[in-house]
Amino acid sequence: MYTITSSQFIKDSETISSNDDAFKFGFFSPANTTNRYVGIWYLEDSNIIWVANREKPLQDLSGMVTISDDNTNLLVLNGQKNVIWSSNVSNFASNSNVTAHLQNNGNLILQDATGKTIWESFEHPTHAFVANMIISTNKKTGQKVKLTSWRTPSDPAIGNFSNGLERLNAPEFFIWNNTKPYWRSGPWNGQKFIGLRSDLVYASSYLNGFNVAREDNGSLVESTYTLINSSYFATMVVTYEGKMVYSLWINRYQVSNGVAQESECDVYGFCGLNGSCNFKKFPICTCLKGFEPKNADEWNKQNWTSGCVRSASALRCELGGEKDGFMKLEMTKVPDFVQQSYLSVDACRNQCLNDCNCTAYGFDDVINCLTWSGNLIDIVRFSSGGIDLYIRVPNSELGEYA
């Protein structure tokens, strides 16, 4: 079956399929529960990409999916014919003979009699980001289209973690733990997110045309991606633990999967203010050059939360005397709260040097000058990838000039 209409519904154990039969829309139970949900999956129901009634599971096998009596909405009903979930299309003429179809990209669409799409699942994502879906943030309205994790592996209800776009002047993907930042990708430079390890950048090379676009004078930022060809399928899923898991299938065989986070260093601000994290070193947290632990006792017990503060050597800029210099940190995930401008590398350095509030700068070949003011948060050192970061220090602290 490929279509749901006012006269053709599906019951539990029945599905509709995409034309290529790669995607199914129907009933499933996650592991370790008998609760029933309605969703979309790729190849098998262990690869769920979207869930309709995630907050209201069916308790038995008596559910059905149908078109509403006024021919405007897709409904999930329980055995008593109570509405468990609705597509909630409003301001639409009744009796329009809407039908539901599953496209070959996994998008469930509602169309009216003229073929116009009036609702689609891709505009209401749950936990998975797939090709041709759009994740967006609108600064004017405050509206965000984002991913939300499951509560547990057996409960698709909205969990603690969400994933979306933030820092719209230099857009980044964030994962939030409720409202608290948990992970970030680093700024988008038009080709890649510069805060990702090089292996993640390579792993995403199958994404043909991954793009982050700024519209409406930068107040609206949207991200989407396409695939190299129709034999590819990929997902990026935010898990109940706050991980970003990516998976790739070629010719319907899963060929790879991985996780964006590999250590505690990937937790936002793990080393506190003005700290740097390197999971291949011990201890993994160190204070930046020119800084010292704010609370030495805590720091020595590997409690990094209080971070670091400027050491006794004052910056010369603040004293109005001899100019400061910069310490170079290679292959770095740059800090949060970047300011971006299109200056040359020399102009970027001079601008930072002449601004006493500027604590660091970096340079990317695509988006050029990156600067930071005040405390620096969420710096991670890589063995490959990232960009070079230049930290402002007094000349007395310099062991290397930049």
Number of H helices, E strands in the chain: 4, 34
Q: Which pLDDT value is given to residue 402?
A: 40
Whether residue 321 is predicted with pLDDT greater than 70 in this model: the reply is no
Q: How far apart are CA 142 and CA 126, in angstroms?
A: 19
Q: Which pLDDT value is given to residue 400?
A: 47
User: Euclidean distance between the first and final Cα of the chain, in Å?
Assistant: 65
Task: Share the mean pLDDT of the chain.
Answer: 91
- The fold of 3-259 is Agglutinin, subunit A (2.90.10)
Q: Give 46: exposed, middle or buried? Use CB within 10 Å, 0-12, 13-18, 19+.
A: exposed
Q: How far apart are CA 25 and CA 37, in angstroms?
A: 11
Q: Which pLDDT value is given to residue 380?
A: 97
Which ranges constitute the DSSP H helices of 254-373?
Answer: 296-300, 316-319, 345-353
φ/ψ bin of 102: left (φ > 0), alpha (ψ from -120 to 50), beta (otherwise): beta
pTM across the whole model: 0.92
Span 82-134, pLDDT tens digits:
999 999 988 766 666 899 999 999 999 999 888 899 999 999 999 999 999 99
The CA-based angle 112-16-52, given to 5 degrees, is 75
For the chain, the farthest-separated pair of C-alpha atoms sits apart, in whole angstroms, at 83
Q: Which pLDDT value is given to residue 377?
A: 98
Distances (CA, A) of 337 to 89, 96, 171, 172, 305: 38, 49, 10, 10, 19
Distances (CA, A) of 3 to 17, 28, 59: 8, 19, 25
How much of the chain, in percent, has pLDDT values that exceed 70? Answer: 94
Compare 97 and 39 and report the one with higher pLDDT.
Answer: 39
Which ranges constitute the DSSP H helices of 136-286?
Answer: 198-203
Q: Look at residues 231, 239, 211 and name the one whose alpha carbon lies nearest to residue 154.
A: 239
Please state the domain extents for the chain.
3-259, 264-397
Span 278-316, pLDDT tens digits:
999 999 999 999 899 999 999 999 999 999 999 876 677
Least confident of 137-151, 190-204, 248-262, 293-307: 190-204
Span 20-32, pLDDT tens digits:
999 999 999 999 9
CB 371 within 8 A of CB 354: no
Q: Which pLDDT value is given to residue 397?
A: 75
